[in-house]
A and B are shown apart, each in its own frame.
Chain A
Amino acid sequence: MSANELTIAAARDALRKGDLTAVDLTMACLTAMDAGDELNAFVHKTPEIALDQARAADARLKAGDAPSLCGIPLGIKDLFCTKGVPSQAASNILRGFKPEYESTVTTKLFAAGGVMLGKLNMDEFAMGSSNETSCYGNAVNPWRRGNDETALTPGGSSGGSAAAVAADLCLAATGTDTGGSIRQPAAFVGITGIKPTYGRVSRWGIAAFASSLDQAGPMTKSVRDAAILLEAMAGHDPKDSTSADLPVPDFEAMLTGDIRGKKIGIPREYRMDGMPDEIEKLWADGQAMLKDAGAEIVDISLPHTKYALPAYYVIAPAEASSNLARYDGVRYGHRAKLAQGDGITEMYEKTRAEGFGKEVQRRVMIGTYVLSAGFYDAYYNRARKVRALIKRDFEFAFAAGIDAILTPATPSSAFGLGEMASADPVEMYLNDVFTVTVNLAGLPGIAVPVGLDRKGLPLGLQLIGRPWEEGDLLNHAYVLEKAAGFVAKPEKWW
């Protein structure tokens, strides 16, 4: 086994024992990263930073001062601002932008000894479910269907993170999730991805998409790794007023593997019309696994589920239209070449038309429309009321004693790149149908790989937990992971 294939937990133990050095581990990942260019997962490579950090990690390991992430090579989603390193949110409007500051999450990861290999591909401003809205061109899923060489999507928006982790280009990666952008790509490539409770991880220094929905989280090869990485990313930050001032538990220590007596809710509204039988079967298998582990399976109702997507597609674009107003060609990023006589309005309009891709433009305009005079109440306020009802559905379920909720992670396995090109934008939005409720309610949710479909592609299940109970949620995921025994890896073609 090559060192880049290790989990965080295994690498940490080998590093501490002295069986492996951080420099050797980093070199193995840099080699894998360079050999993985066909996946288009890494879009800005930072080998010098990585090796400097690895050398520093080796010194700490030698001195016996080695936190969990000491010497662990990570990929960082391009949405995170990293000092002196291009941070473009996969958008042309931020071409050339090199932040003068470091995001809180990457600051914490580096303080814990983490090593940054480079920046990872994504959908532009995290708006997309297939990585096809990226200004760098799409990342590619390392998985293929049987004998078929069709290039598949790694999902989105954290598609580069998903592809890089699944292909062992790094040990783990950061992602962000506004409507499913960690969990859907994790499910599409057979890895673990957790979106924490809203407020658990600081949003400071992460390019904002929809501020009331955005959360960063880990994308990893195992549930244990997700626990380790989440602990390093989480915590109160005075620079993010929505970050929660709560202690961060030792998530890894909470992986006891014991869920006896826990109540698992199965929401009947998630049984969608036309759901593929393979997804239906996977879901039933997952229920059986948790039941075998001693949990009680309970049918529950989340009656407003159906309205989550339309509510999301009002609220997220509304917030995006405000957040993305800052890209005006004045302070950073792209400015359009102006014609003789062009004033400041032409500068704004041309800059934004050139800098934003089609999907981002569409969402900014939808957001502008739903917030405009005369429509604010009809769309935006109504959506916020429906959001309150969606949150209340979950509160009722948890108040009735439910510990975790089990659902499919995605409505299908990974689809072909370009397959949705002629589709209505709304069809692409349906990818988020199982994940988006969790963002609206601010809850933690985790995608765990559980099996393969007939085409040989990974399928995942989602567990949803109580607010701030990521430790308990991870423990449920850990039980599911052990029972499912998912160990399949994509066959290397890149």
Chain B
Amino acid sequence: MSIDIDTARKVAKLARIRVEEPDLPALAGELSGILTFMEQLNEVDVTGVEPMTSVTPMRLKRRADVVTDGNIQAQILANAPDAREGFFAVPKVVE
């Protein structure tokens, strides 16, 4: 499977990473190389094998449904690039 320039553009868009047009051919080439390497997996007979979903078979623990944390607005916002009036601020989303 090789990745063409259109696919590379689409993947960059899905990943929300800006890639300039002139950089797309090189990116497509690199991604194709990696995918070719992955294609070895097609040699393996995986009939009847369940995909591994957890490393150690264990039941996820549950805890009481109670508040354990909170009232830390200032801490939450402390690292925000832009915070106003107790909220994260971003460019206009809705016209």
Contact = CB atoms under 8 A, between A and B. Distances in A.
A244 B44 CA distance: 32
Interface string B1-20: 00100011001111111110
Contact of B88 (A330, A368, A372): A330
A342 interface: yes
B70 to A, nearest CB: 14
B33 A365 contact: no
A467 B56 CA distance: 9
A347 B51 contact: no
B31 to A, nearest CB: 6
B40 A425 contact: no
Contact of B11 (A212, A334, A368, A426): A368
A369 interface: yes
B91 A365 contact: no
Interface string A366-399: 1111101000000101111111110100000000
B41 A314 contact: yes
Interface residues of B, number: 52
A304 to B, nearest CB: 7
Contact of B79 (A331, A347, A364, A387): A331
B55 A199 contact: yes
A368 B60 CA distance: 27
Contacts of B54: 212, 242
Contacts of B93: 343-344
Interface residues of A, number: 72
Most B-side CB within 10 Å, residue of A98, A309, A381, A384: A384
Nearest to A335: B81
A96 B80 CA distance: 10
Contacts of B8: 365
A401 interface: no
B52 A310 contact: no
B53 A384 contact: yes
Secondary structure dominating the interface of B = loop
A311 B34 contact: no
Nearest to B53: A384
Given A353-B17, A365-B12, A311 B41 contact: yes
Nearest to A361: B17
Contacts of B79: 96-100, 331-333
Contacts of B34: 313, 362, 366, 425-426
A242 B37 CA distance: 31
B91 to A, nearest CB: 5
A372 B44 contact: no
A306 interface: yes
B63 interface: yes
Contact of A368 (B14, B52, B81): B14
A333 B19 contact: no
A399 to B, nearest CB: 15
A352 B51 contact: no
Given A307-B44, A362-B31, A388 B52 contact: yes
B67 interface: no
Contact of A349 (B17, B50, B56): B17
A147 interface: no
A241 interface: yes
A350 interface: yes
Nearest to A373: B14
Most A-side CB within 10 Å, residue of B16, B51, B58, B81: B16
Contacts of B44: 304, 307, 382, 385-386, 389
A241 B61 contact: yes
A379 to B, nearest CB: 6
Contacts of B40: 306-307, 310
Given A325-B16, A365-B17, 20 more contacts: A100-B72, A242-B54, A306-B40, A307-B40, A307-B43, A310-B39, A313-B38, A330-B80, A330-B88, A344-B90, A352-B17, A353-B17, A353-B19, A365-B8, A368-B14, A379-B41, A384-B52, A384-B53, A388-B51, A389-B49
